[in-house]
Copies of this chain bind each other. A is one copy, B any other.
Amino acid sequence: MVADTKTAERRSSPGNRKAPSSPVPDDSHIARLCVESGLKMTGQRRVIAHVLSIADDHPDVEELYRRASEIDSRISVATVYRTVRLLEEKGILERRDFGGGRARYEASDSGNHYHLIDVDSGRVVEFEDDEPVRLLAQLAQRLGFDLVSHRIELFGRRAEPEDRKKSPPENRNKSGS
C-alpha cells in the first residue's frame, strides 16, 4: 500500500461559516466552461470552479472541499461531490485514480501530459510529450476511431544508477508522501 494514509480530519467544524472572503473571480476558466455547458452558476459552484481553475495538482474531493471551504464555508462536501460528478459528465473535469482509494480531479484541457506515480512514495510526476499520444491516436484511427481523450497513468520506481536491470525489484524502503 502506498504511503497515502492520511487520516483526513472529519468535516468542517460548525460555527465559523463565512461568505466569500477572498475575491473569487466571477469567471474563472472552469466557470466559463460551466456557463457554456448551460449550468446555473451558484455561489458554491463559482467557488469550486475557481478552486479547480487555480489548482495545479490533482486534488481529491476532500481536498477540494477544504480549499473551497476556506473561501466560503457555506459549502458542503455533498455539493463538492455533486459538482465534480457533474463537471466530469460535462467533460470539463477528468477523474484520475492514482491509487489510495480516492478519486482525484483535474481540468480536462491541461494538455497532453502523463502522470508518473512513484509506487513507493505515491508522489506524482508529470511530463509532456506528444509522440506517444500521436502513436496511440494513429493506432486507434486504424481501428476506426477518432481519439477523443485519454488517461495515461504510469507507475514507476526510482531507478538506481548502478544496480539496474538485474534481479526483479524487491523491497524498497517506502518514503513519506
A148 and B131 contact, CB distance less than 8 A: no
A141 and B155 contact, CB distance less than 8 A: no
Q: Per-residue 0/1 for A116-145: is the Cβ within 8 Å of any B Cβ (1 yes, 0 no)? A: 101100000101010110011001110111
Interface positions of A from 144 to 171, Cβ below 8 Å from B = 144-159, 164, 169-170
Q: In the complex, what distance in Å separates the CA atom of A95 from the CA atom of B155? A: 12
How many copies of this protein are present in the complex?
A: 2
Q: In the complex, what distance in Å separates the CA atom of A114 from the CA atom of B135? A: 12
Q: Cβ of A8 < 8 Å from any Cβ of B?
A: no
A140 and B154 contact, CB distance less than 8 A: yes
CB-CB < 8 A to A140: which residues of B? 116, 154, 156
Interface positions of A from 74 to 98, Cβ below 8 Å from B = 85, 88-91, 95, 97
CB-CB < 8 A to A158: which residues of B? 144-146
Q: In the complex, what distance in Å separates the CA atom of A164 from the CA atom of B137? A: 14
A34 CB, min distance to chain B CBs, angstroms: 14
Chain A interfacial positions (CB closer than 8 Å to B):
1, 85, 88-91, 95, 97, 99, 114, 116, 118-119, 125, 127, 129, 131-132, 135-136, 139-141, 143-159, 164, 169-170, 172
Other than the given A91-B172, A97-B151, A127-B139, 17 more pairs (CB < 8 A) read A91-B170, A95-B99, A114-B136, A118-B145, A125-B143, A127-B143, A129-B135, A129-B139, A132-B132, A132-B135, A140-B154, A140-B156, A145-B154, A145-B158, A145-B159, A146-B159, A151-B152
